[in-house]
């Protein structure tokens, strides 16, 4: 089915996510994950798979790697004469006065895109919640409930106190209506955790954005959702599949290693799921040498593996030399680990070279991050 | 249409009958190769890298898969506003309609297509060889020599020369004689099936050939000898890279195995000359703790729990725990069950090998019903696409399995059941 009447809007940045070294040269959306993907691939594919034919991606200032990755949108079948993919740069005239860009600031830069698009509804989403979600079900739910805004949540009992302060929780009634919203609570009163995705009529969204801009308000959760509680019909759709929010290096590391679990791979890439697309690189298959010892690893195309690899996520074009021992690590595109190196609990950004015989060891709870193109 | 200096025509209509069951439903150029490619990817990628942007692909035999695969040519960067890739099947006109009678007739029937680009040169390629070649260098040599035709040749071992079309040349690499599969070869320069022609000259010969009712309408048998006997300038262009004809099961298997050797003779992963293909949207492959993987080529979308040695594994293949795959080529989306053994075999696309079965078995009680030494040689076993082999079945080496093999007693049991079913109904 083609949801011609809905456009997608993805935020490529999120002020609450900080991936340190990995975001030094790129936006959150463009951070490589899962062996061959970038964070944006999941949400963008979800939208395309749900029949959305017009998607805008709000870009921050560090957008080179994002624009390079999505290009014309062809890999997602979005290089279209009508509709397709749009990169929306941040508004030029914005005066932040020292504060950070909020969601509404990004939306203000998307106003002319919103106004010009023919679609009547908008699906908005952060980029950094990794999941394979059928958004058509969210839309169906929205119309069934005759809602003004439909937010998407997952059940998350027992959120750790450290994590709780980063969550937005809903009180959801039996009919799916939202009766309370707790932003960054201290105490967990509800298990319904917001997935930073909502569906809304475009005309209403524009009205709300203009209102916020006129009142110097910048935060979607507070100024659009919470402020309209009781005034608008806000409903919550429950997503039951696997999801992982990537907002810290730890979460990034955890997500990657979770891909070694069959259940997680099924949830994201299973045969009954729609495909997650990414930029095509025409890499050759991965070559395993005679002395390769590989256990429990997720390996993309174009690699050459001659050493030992265990519990690793290996991106396209990585080389691992003879006698090298690599464990519990995430190794991004075109990095090279030369002969006889020892590596444990390390995240290698792209094109890192680890010279022969070197040893790099992090902790499983605190992985070592080696920045892009570093030579060690 | 804007004119192009050069148009390439890829002959992709052949059945490739020596590939047996592999080409029952697809044309030879659509046969998978090297873990993620199809044979046609090689000439198409060579064209794209050589700057040839008008390419005709002549299809005839079982064209569906090939047509779908080529699509608009985007994977090879051949979706162009001006030119691009065109699939050219035979067609019917007001006067007559006929199949492509031979390689020369296939080009003859597309004179209109080629002339539309008003080219100076036409490159004729066969769609069934594995090689990386810069055609632009060959075209340059053709231009500099002011030749009517230039034929790419490669040195083959003398003892194999009698299997090829051999070019006898003078000291300046001018072709003086062409011999198809000579008993006593005078040269070891074999034709690679890569030709550059000056279009105005070739067109005349194609028309004359078509008007000759005795002709086989074949480049090797008719056009080249005719041009030679008229003393046209014919140049042999020496190519010294890797080139492999993959027309038989054994050569196809060898070409795949060659990728695993220390020095395959060419770099598949050459960043400046990548072989493009239609990439499936599949996740990276997973290697489980229970598996052992040695000297292999494995691509995306596979789930590997068993042991693999000296093998090429295509996308979407599952190999279960305890399974052993040796010296084999496993085509896309196939399934190898628990504790199954696959020994020196090629497993067709989407085939199903159930647990505890053995492919390429040397045991005395192995199923020999499918042994086919005409297609299979060197003990290579071939399982056809979509074929399923039931639990515990042993398939003898050198078999070509063309249909499902069920459990012998299961067939009987199923038969009994259905009788009973009718009675109660």
Residue of B nearest to A256 (CA): B284
Instruction: Give residue A162's pLDDT.
Output: 85
**Is residue A277 one of the residues assigned to a domain?**
no
What angle (nearest 5°) sits at the alpha carbon of residue A26, between those of residues A20 and A27?
85
Instruction: Give residue B420's pLDDT.
Output: 41
Strands B400-401 and A6-11 turn out to be: unpaired
**Is residue A99 one of the residues assigned to a domain?**
yes
Distances (CA, A) of A298 to A262, A343, B36, B422: 11, 16, 18, 51
The verdict on A115 and A249 lying in the same domain is: yes
Closest CA to B12 of B40, B53, B32: B40
User: How confident is residue A168, by pLDDT bands cut at 50, 70 and 90?
Assistant: very high
Which residue would you say has higher pLDDT here, B170 or B96?
B170
Report the distance separating Cα A119 and Cα A76, nearest Å. 19
Q: What is the pLDDT of residues A35-78, one digit of tens each?
A: 999 999 999 999 999 999 999 999 888 888 999 999 999 999 99
Which residue would you say has higher pLDDT here, A2 or A258?
A258
Residue of B nearest to A292 (CA): B294
CA distance B309 to chain A (A): 8
Residues of B in contact with A297 (CB under 8 A): 286-287
Q: Which of A269, A304, A333 is the last residue of a domain?
A: A269
pLDDT at B152 over 50: yes
**Is residue A274 one of the residues assigned to a domain?**
no
Residue of A nearest to B45 (CA): A282
Are A147 and A139 contacting, i.e. CB atoms less than 8 angstroms apart?
A: no
Residue of B nearest to A295 (CA): B289
**Is residue A102 one of the residues assigned to a domain?**
yes
Among B274, B281, B284, beta carbon nearest to A282: B274
Interface of B with A in 368-397 (CB under 8 A): none
Closest CA to A315 of A34, A30, A35: A35
The verdict on A301 and A246 lying in the same domain is: no
- Is the CB of B269 less than 8 angstroms away from the CB of A283? yes
Are B130 and B114 contacting, i.e. CB atoms less than 8 angstroms apart?
A: no
CA distance B121 to chain A (A): 30
Are A279 and A75 contacting, i.e. CB atoms less than 8 angstroms apart?
A: yes
pLDDT at B415 over 70: no
First to last CA, chain A: 51
Residues of A in contact with B312 (CB under 8 A): 285
Residues of A in contact with B285 (CB under 8 A): 286, 298-300
**Is residue A74 one of the residues assigned to a domain?**
yes
Report the distance separating Cα B5 and Cα B50, nearest Å. 13
**Residues 6+ positions from B119 with CB-CB distance below 8 Å:** B3, B4, B5, B6, B7, B54, B199
Residue of A nearest to B308 (CA): A288
Among A268, A294, A302, beta carbon nearest to B287: A294
Strands A32-33 and A37-38 turn out to be: antiparallel
User: How confident is residue A232, by pLDDT bands cut at 50, 70 and 90?
Assistant: very high
Residues of B in contact with A44 (CB under 8 A): none
Helix (H) or strand (E) holding A248: none
Residues of A in contact with B317 (CB under 8 A): none
Closest CA to B141 of B234, B240, B44: B234
Residues of B in contact with A74 (CB under 8 A): 74
Instruction: Give residue A63's pLDDT.
Output: 86
Q: Which of A234, A269, A304 is the last residue of a domain?
A: A269
CA distance A22 to chain B (A): 21
- Is the CB of B34 less than 8 angstroms away from the CB of A298? no
- Is the CB of A300 less than 8 angstroms away from the CB of B300? yes
Report the distance separating Cα A176 and Cα A236, nearest Å. 5
Share of chain B above pLDDT 90, in %: 80
Q: Does B75 touch chain A (CB under 8 A)?
A: yes
The verdict on A69 and A208 lying in the same domain is: yes
Distances (CA, A) of B166 to B193, B222, B224: 11, 15, 12
The verdict on A301 and A358 lying in the same domain is: yes
Report the distance separating Cα A17 and Cα A6, nearest Å. 27
The verdict on A147 and A296 lying in the same domain is: no
Q: Does B77 touch chain A (CB under 8 A)?
A: no
The verdict on A261 and A133 lying in the same domain is: yes
Q: Which of A242, A269, A296 is the last residue of a domain?
A: A269
pLDDT at B137 over 90: yes
Phi/psi region, residue A113 (left: phi>0; alpha: psi -120 to 50; beta: rest), is alpha
Q: Does B261 touch chain A (CB under 8 A)?
A: no
Which string of b and e fits A57-68 if b means at least 16 CB within 10 Å? Answer: bbbbebbebbee
Q: Does B270 touch chain A (CB under 8 A)?
A: no
Closest CA to A139 of A194, A199, A82: A199
Mean pLDDT of chain A: 93
Return the number of CB contacts < 8 Å for A and B: 98
Report the distance separating Cα A366 and Cα A345, nearest Å. 8
Report the distance separating Cα B60 and Cα A11, nearest Å. 49
Give the rounded distance of the alpha carbon of A331 from its chain centre. 19
Residue of A nearest to B274 (CA): A282
The verdict on A130 and A100 lying in the same domain is: yes
Residues of A in contact with B276 (CB under 8 A): 282
Residues of B in contact with A256 (CB under 8 A): none
Output the six-digit token pair for A60. 């921050």
- Is the CB of B283 less than 8 angstroms away from the CB of A278? no
Helix (H) or strand (E) holding B204: helix B199-210
Give the three-state DSSP class for B310. Answer: strand
- Is the CB of A298 less than 8 angstroms away from the CB of B284? yes
Residues of A in contact with B335 (CB under 8 A): none
pLDDT at B200 over 90: yes
**Is residue A265 one of the residues assigned to a domain?**
yes
The verdict on A34 and A174 lying in the same domain is: yes
CA distance B357 to chain A (A): 25
The verdict on A88 and A205 lying in the same domain is: yes
Q: Give me the helices (H) in chain A, please.
A: 39-49, 64-70, 103-108, 111-116, 135-144, 161-164, 202-214, 249-258, 262-269
CA distance A63 to chain B (A): 25
Are A1 and A49 contacting, i.e. CB atoms less than 8 angstroms apart?
A: no
Of A319-323, B32-36, B263-267, minimum mean pLDDT range: B263-267
pLDDT at A237 over 80: yes
Which string of b and e fits A262-298 if b means at least 16 CB within 10 Å? Answer: eebbebbbeeebbebbbbbebbbbbbbbeebbbbbbb
Report the distance separating Cα B31 and Cα B123, nearest Å. 23
Closest CA to B85 of B331, B255, B276, B306: B276
Among A285, A289, A313, beta carbon nearest to B299: A285
Q: The whole model's pTM is what?
A: 0.91
Domain count for chain A: 2
Average pLDDT over residues A270-289: 93
Interface of B with A in 23-42 (CB under 8 A): 34-36
Report the distance separating Cα B44 and Cα B122, nearest Å. 15
Give the three-state DSSP class for A353. Answer: strand
Q: Does B329 touch chain A (CB under 8 A)?
A: no
Find where tokens 């690899």 sit: A309
Output the six-digit token pair for A208. 């709300």
CATH number at residue A166: 3.90.550.10
Residues of B in contact with A242 (CB under 8 A): none
For every residue of B124-187, DSSP letters joined together read EEESSEEE---HHHHHHHHHHTT-SEEEEEEE--GGGGGGSEEEEE-TTSBEEEEEES-SS-S-
Which residue would you say has higher pLDDT here, A17 or A142?
A142
pLDDT at B270 over 90: no
Report the distance separating Cα A65 and Cα A109, nearest Å. 20
In this structure, what are the phi and psi dihedrals at residue B266, rounded to the nearest 5 degrees?
A: -150, 160
Q: Does B264 touch chain A (CB under 8 A)?
A: no
Show which residues on chain A lie within 8 Å of chain B, measured between beta carbons.
34-36, 74, 260, 265, 268-269, 275-278, 280-302, 313-314
The verdict on A241 and A215 lying in the same domain is: yes
Average pLDDT over residues B64-77: 92
Give the rounded distance of the alpha carbon of B388 from its chain centre. 24
- Is the CB of B285 less than 8 angstroms away from the CB of A268? no
CA distance B256 to chain A (A): 12
Q: How many residues does chain A have?
A: 376
**Is residue A128 one of the residues assigned to a domain?**
yes
Residue of A nearest to B267 (CA): A284
Closest CA to B142 of B154, B151, B134, B150: B150
Residues of B in contact with A268 (CB under 8 A): 283
Instruction: Give residue B424's pLDDT.
Output: 38
CA distance B195 to chain A (A): 28
Among B35, B276, B288, beta carbon nearest to A296: B288
**Is residue A138 one of the residues assigned to a domain?**
yes
Average pLDDT over residues A17-27: 90
Residue of B293, B309, B317, B327 to mutate, testing the A interface (most A Cβ within 10 Å of its Cβ): B293
The verdict on A243 and A293 lying in the same domain is: no
Average pLDDT over residues B73-95: 89
User: How confident is residue B163, by pLDDT bands cut at 50, 70 and 90?
Assistant: confident
Helix axes A39-49, A135-144, angle to 10 degrees: 50
CA distance B375 to chain A (A): 28
CATH number at residue A363: 2.160.10.10
Beta strands in B207-291 (DSSP E): 234-238, 243-245, 285-287
CA distance A319 to chain B (A): 13
The verdict on A319 and A241 lying in the same domain is: no
Residues of A in contact with B286 (CB under 8 A): 260, 265, 297-299
Residue of A301, A305, A315, A322 to mutate, testing the B interface (most B Cβ within 10 Å of its Cβ): A301
* Containing structural domain, residue A306: 287-370
Q: What is the pLDDT of residues A91-129, one digit of tens each?
A: 776 677 777 788 898 898 899 999 999 999 999 999 999
Q: What is the pLDDT of residues B178-194, one digit of tens each?
A: 998 899 999 999 999 99
B313 bridge partner residues: B298, B330
- Is the CB of B281 less than 8 angstroms away from the CB of A301? no
Find where tokens 């991106």 sit: A315
Residue of B nearest to A268 (CA): B283
Output the six-digit token pair for A196. 């930073």
The sign of the dihedral angle between the CA atoms of A179, A185, A191, A194 is positive
Report the distance separating Cα B139 and Cα B124, nearest Å. 12
């Amino acid at each position: 089915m083609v949801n011609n009447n809905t456009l997608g809007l993805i935020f490529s940045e999120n002020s609450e996510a900080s991936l340190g070294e990995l975001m030094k040269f790129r936006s959150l959306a463009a951070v490589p994950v899962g062996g061959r993907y970038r964070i944006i691939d999941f949400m963008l594919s979800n939208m395309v798979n749900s029949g959305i034919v017009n998607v805008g991606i709000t870009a921050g200032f560090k957008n080179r790697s994002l624009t390079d990755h999505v290009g014309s949108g062809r890999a997602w079948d979005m290089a279209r004469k009508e509709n397709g993919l749009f990169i929306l740069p941040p508004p030029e005239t914005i005066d932040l006065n020292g504060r950070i860009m909020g969601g509404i600031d990004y939306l203000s830069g998307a106003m002319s895109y919103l106004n010009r698009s023919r679609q009547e509804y908008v699906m908005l989403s952060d980029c950094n919640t990794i999941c394979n979600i059928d958004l058509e079900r969210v839309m169906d739910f929205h119309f069934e409930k005759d809602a003004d805004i439909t937010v998407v949540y997952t059940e998350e009992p027992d959120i750790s106190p450290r994590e709780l302060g980063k969550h937005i929780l809903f009180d959801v009634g039996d009919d799916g209506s939202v009766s309370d919203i707790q932003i960054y609570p201290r105490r967990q009163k509800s298990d319904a955790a917001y997935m930073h995705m909502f569906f809304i009529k475009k005309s209403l969204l524009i009205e709300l954005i203009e209102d916020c801009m006129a009142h110097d308000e910048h935060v979607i959760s507070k100024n659009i959702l919470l402020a309209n509680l009781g005034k608008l019909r806000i409903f919550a759709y429950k997503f039951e599949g696997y999801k992982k929010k990537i907002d810290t290096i730890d979460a990034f590391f955890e997500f990657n290693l979770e891909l070694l679990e069959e259940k997680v791979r099924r949830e994201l890439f299973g045969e009954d799921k729609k495909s997650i697309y990414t930029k095509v690189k025409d890499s050759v298959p991965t070559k395993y040498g005679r002395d390769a010892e590989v256990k429990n690893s997720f390996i993309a195309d174009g690699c050459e593996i001659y050493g030992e690899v265990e519990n690793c996520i290996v991106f396209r074009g990585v080389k691992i030399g003879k006698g090298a021992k690599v464990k519990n690590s995430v190794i991004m595109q075109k990095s090279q680990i030369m002969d006889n190196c020892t590596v444990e609990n390390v995240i290698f950004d792209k094109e890192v070279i680890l010279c022969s015989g070197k040893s790099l060891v992090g902790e499983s709870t605190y992985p070592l991050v080696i920045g892009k193109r570093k030579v060690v | 249409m804007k004119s192009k200096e050069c148009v390439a025509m890829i002959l992709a209509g052949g059945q490739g009958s020596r590939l047996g069951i592999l080409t029952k439903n697809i044309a030879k150029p659509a046969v998978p190769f090297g873990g993620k490619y199809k044979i046609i990817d090689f000439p198409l990628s060579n064209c794209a890298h050589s700057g040839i942007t008008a390419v005709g692909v002549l299809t005839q035999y079982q064209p569906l898969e090939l047509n779908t695969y080529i699509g608009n040519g985007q994977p090879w960067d051949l979706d162009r506003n001006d030119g691009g890739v065109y699939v050219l099947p035979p067609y019917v006109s007001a006067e007559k309609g006929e199949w492509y009678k031979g390689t020369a007739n296939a080009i003859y029937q597309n004179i209109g297509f080629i002339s539309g680009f008003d080219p100076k040169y036409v490159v004729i390629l066969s769609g069934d060889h594995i090689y990386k070649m810069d055609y632009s260098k060959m075209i340059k040599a053709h231009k500099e020599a002011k030749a009517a035709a230039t034929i790419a040749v490669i040195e083959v071992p003398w003892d194999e020369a009698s299997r090829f079309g051999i070019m006898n040349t003078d000291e300046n690499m001018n072709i003086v004689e062409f011999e198809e599969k000579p008993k006593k070869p005078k040269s070891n320069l074999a034709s690679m099936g890569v030709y550059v022609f000056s279009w105005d000259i070739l067109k005349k010969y194609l028309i004359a050939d078509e008007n000759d009712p005795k002709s086989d309408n074949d480049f090797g048998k008719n056009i080249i000898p005719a041009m030679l006997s008229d003393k046209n300038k014919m140049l042999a262009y020496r190519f010294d890279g890797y080139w492999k004809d993959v027309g038989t099961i054994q050569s196809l298997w060898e070409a795949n195995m060659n990728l695993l050797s220390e020095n395959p003779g060419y770099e598949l992963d050459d960043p400046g000359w990548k072989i493009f293909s239609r990439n499936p949207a599949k996740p990276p492959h997973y290697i489980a703790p229970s598996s052992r993987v040695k000297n292999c080529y494995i691509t995306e979308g596979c789930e590997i729990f068993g042991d693999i040695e000296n093998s090429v594994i295509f996308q979407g293949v599952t190999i279960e725990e305890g399974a052993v795959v040796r010296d084999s080529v496993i085509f896309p989306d196939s399934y190898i069950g628990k504790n199954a053994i696959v020994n020196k075999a090629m497993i067709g696309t989407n085939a199903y090998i159930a647990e505890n079965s053995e492919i390429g078995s040397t045991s005395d009680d192995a199923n020999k019903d499918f042994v086919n030494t005409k297609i299979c040689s060197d003990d290579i076993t071939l399982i056809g696409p979509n074929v399923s082999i039931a639990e515990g079945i042993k398939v003898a080496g050198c078999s070509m399995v063309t249909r499902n093999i069920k459990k012998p007693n299961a067939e009987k049991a199923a038969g009994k059941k259905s009788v009973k079913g009718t009675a109660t109904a």
